[in-house]
């Protein structure tokens, strides 16, 4: 569902729950972020998220891995440590049960890799397979990362390349090569947990954080800019791209979500006059299980990069936060 449609359907809830009546709800509908946060006491808060969707690749095990990594990413984007997850499943009666077993195996392996456990779940009959998680984590309420909080002068980093929406769309049309698809699957399946751990060890350096998913780099970037009340300046030539993503964009294999994102955020994003159509497609490409996108103190940038390199984790510096009207500028 696009951002405009989502805002419309949530409107009836706007006045239903008074935030002042729930002081321990640190992040909810009134302060939208990657996950809900409920304070237990001065040192512990629960972080809860849910996400599920139909297959983006044909291989059931890979699909399960991607869907689980995608759901867990919301916890990592808030600085939380995953505790447990519940499977959410929709599955047709006329498909072999072995397919669902492989989906669940892929998801379970990712949850185990994250140091958490599958504690149960729910299944329902559906015409199309769907899978995801309801995932719960724990965080110090004084150290929750939110989309707001970026400061003038912060450096912007990204931990995964862009283009998964373009590649999986081309895959459904049987028009992407195997190497590009394999690289996209590997990226989407990779947990953001190690990147989050490294960022957390740079005490106080992270001022704002989110993960890049369906609303694209531009959409989620604007959420950060808006909630931080400043401008994000990005540089297209610094943005990492998945192998084959540019080719897919130039061939016009554009997801429907790309057009929805471009329409929703076009007034919030200023592009260079010579920006090509394939570049726009990548900027607004809806990602599945994308990377962390963080605004960090410029003073800590060197320390953070060294830690990422030492851990073998990818990192790209893609721009900076600057004072100005909330929005995004792409040079």
* CATH tag, 3-143: 3.30.1330.10
Residues contacting 215, CB < 8 A, separation 6+: 3, 223, 261, 264, 265, 286
Quote the pLDDT of residue 60.
Answer: 98
**Mean pLDDT along residues 53-71:** 98
Instruction: Kindly report the pTM of this predicted structure.
Output: 0.95
Whether 324 shows a pLDDT value over 90: the answer reads: yes
What integer pLDDT is reported at residue 1 of this predicted model?
A: 67
- The CATH-assigned architecture of domain 155-330 is Alpha-Beta Complex (3.90)
User: Which sequence spans correspond to the domains of the chain?
Assistant: 3-143, 155-330
User: How far is Cα of residue 29 from the mean position of the Cα atoms in its chain?
Assistant: 18
Cα angle 148, 146, 76; round to 5: 150
Query: What local confidence, expressed as pLDDT, does residue 268 receive?
Result: 94
pLDDT value for 308: 98
Residue 105, SS3 per DSSP? helix
In the predicted model, is pLDDT for residue 3 greater than 90? no
Question: What is the spatial distance between Cα 12 and Cα 220, in angstroms, rounded to a whole number?
Answer: 24
Instruction: Give the distance from CA 192 to its chain's centroid.
Output: 9
User: What pLDDT digit, counting tens, does each position of 137-192 carry?
Assistant: 999 999 999 999 999 999 999 999 999 999 999 999 999 999 999 999 999 999 99
Is pLDDT of 11 > 80?
no
pLDDT above 80: residue 45 = yes
């Amino acid at each position: 569902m696009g951002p405009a449609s989502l805002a419309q359907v949530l409107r009836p809830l706007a006045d239903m729950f008074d935030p002042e009546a729930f002081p321990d709800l640190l992040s909810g509908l009134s302060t939208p972020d990657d996950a809900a946060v409920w304070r237990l006491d001065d040192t512990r808060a629960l972080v809860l998220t849910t996400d599920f969707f139909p297959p983006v690749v044909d291989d059931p095990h890979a699909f399960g891995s991607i869907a689980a990594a995608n759901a867990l990413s919301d916890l990592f984007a808030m600085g939380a440590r995953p505790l447990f997850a519940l499977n959410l499943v929709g599955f047709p009666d006329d498909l072999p049960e072995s397919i669902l077993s492989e989906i669940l195996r892929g998801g379970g392996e990712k949850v185990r890799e994250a140091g958490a456990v599958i504690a149960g779940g729910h299944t329902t009959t559906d015409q199309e397979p769907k899978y995801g998680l309801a995932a719960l984590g724990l965080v110090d309420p004084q150290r929750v990362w939110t989309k707001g909080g970026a400061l003038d002068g912060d450096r912007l980093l990204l931990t995964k390349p862009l283009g998964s929406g373009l590649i999986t769309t081309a895959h459904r049309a049987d028009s992407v090569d195997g190497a590009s698809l394999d690289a996209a699957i590997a990226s989407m399946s990779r947990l953001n947990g190690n990147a989050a751990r490294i960022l957390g060890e740079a005490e106080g350096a992270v001022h704002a954080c989110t993960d890049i998913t369906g609303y694209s780099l531009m959409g989620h970037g604007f959420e950060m800019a808006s909630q931080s009340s400043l401008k994000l300046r990005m540089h297209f030539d610094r943005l990492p791209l998945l192998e084959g993503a540019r080719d897919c964009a130039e061939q016009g294999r554009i997801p429907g979500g790309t057009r929805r994102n471009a329409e929703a955020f076009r007034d919030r994003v200023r592009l260079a006059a010579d920006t090509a159509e394939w570049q726009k497609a990548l900027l607004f490409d809806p990602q599945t299980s994308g990377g962390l996108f963080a605004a960090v103190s410029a003073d800590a940038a060197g320390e953070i990069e060294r830690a990422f390199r030492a851990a073998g984790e990818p990192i790209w510096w893609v721009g900076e936060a600057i004072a100005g009207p909330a929005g995004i500028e792409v040079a």
